[in-house]
Structure 1
Amino acid sequence: MTVIALLSVAPVIEDSMAAEVAKAVDALEDFDVEYETNPMGTVIEADDVGTLFAAAEAAHRAVDADRVSTVLKIDDKRTSEGRAREKVDVVEDQLGRPARSESE
């Protein structure tokens, strides 16, 4: 996988967004992508940018609201095959510890 992105899809509503965000995340299942959702968005990995855009569009369209806010940040490393987890591993190697606080 060579294309990594951070996708954030949210309805612009007053109430909880959880049900609509879940629809967006579920839409990714129809594509050949790996993903992991976190509190600020979903990291997606795909073999190519076309697949990534298709998955992001499906997630956007899955949200049923009068107004939807979508942000897509793409890291398209065309000369190497880096994975999202490897990016975190390198930072953790530099830190000498996990890249998160210990208060849980």
Structure 2
Amino acid sequence: MTVIAFLSVAPVTEQSMAGDVAGAVAALDDFDVAYETNPMGTVVEADDIDTLLDAVGAAHEAVDADRVSTFLKIDDKRTSDQSAREKVDAVERELGREARSER
């Protein structure tokens, strides 16, 4: 089974969040997960829900702020081992091109 999640962890602040977000992303390195960060969050993949939740908890705790906002969306398709990359590949096959554009 592959569990895929979209994670966003950030301090509630008007200042730059880059350092805090980097700390949250770095915390994922201590777990057996794959991840890719984009401008809006991080896609995390794990073999099971427990590993995913442990990694997400560590990312949340890594932000040292008075107030931390964490958003988590989990796709736990228990009958498939389809990776996040495979999901994007399927969309790109349907589009007939990469699922991105340049401004």
TM-score normalised per structure 2: 0.97
**Residue identity matched to 1:81:** D
**1:22-47 deviations in Å (ceiling 9; x for gaps):** 00000000000000000000000000
Deviation string 1:27-68 (CA, Å, 9 cap, x unpaired) is: 000000000000000000000000000000000000011000
**C-alpha distance in 1, partners of 2:56/2:25?**
10
Match of 2:78 in 1: 78
Q: Name the CA distance, whole Å, in 2 between partners of 1:30 and 1:78.
A: 25
Gaps of 5+ in 1: none
Following the alignment from structure 1 to structure 2, what is the Cα–Cα distance between the partners of residues 89 and 102?
19
Identity of aligned residues (%): 75
1: CA distance between counterparts of 2:92 and 2:78?
A: 24
> 1:102 deviation in Å?
3.2
Q: How many aligned positions are there?
A: 103
Paired with 1:99 and 1:77, the residues of 2 have a C-alpha distance of 22
Q: Is 1:16 aligned to 2:19, yes or no?
A: no
Q: TM-score, normalised by structure 1?
A: 0.97
SS at match of 2:88: helix
Structure 2 segments unaligned to the other structure (5+ residues): none
- Residue 58 (structure 2) pairs with residue 58 (structure 1): yes
Distance in structure 1 (CA, Å) of the matches to 2:94 and 2:3: 23
Q: Which moved more, 1:1-10 or 1:24-33?
A: 1-10
Matched, 1:34 2:57: no
Aligned residue type for 1:19: G
The residue type paired with residue 64 of structure 2 is D
Q: Which residue identity lines up with residue 89 of structure 1 in the other structure? A: D
Aligned-residue CA RMSD (Å): 0.8
4+ runs deviating over 4 angstroms: none
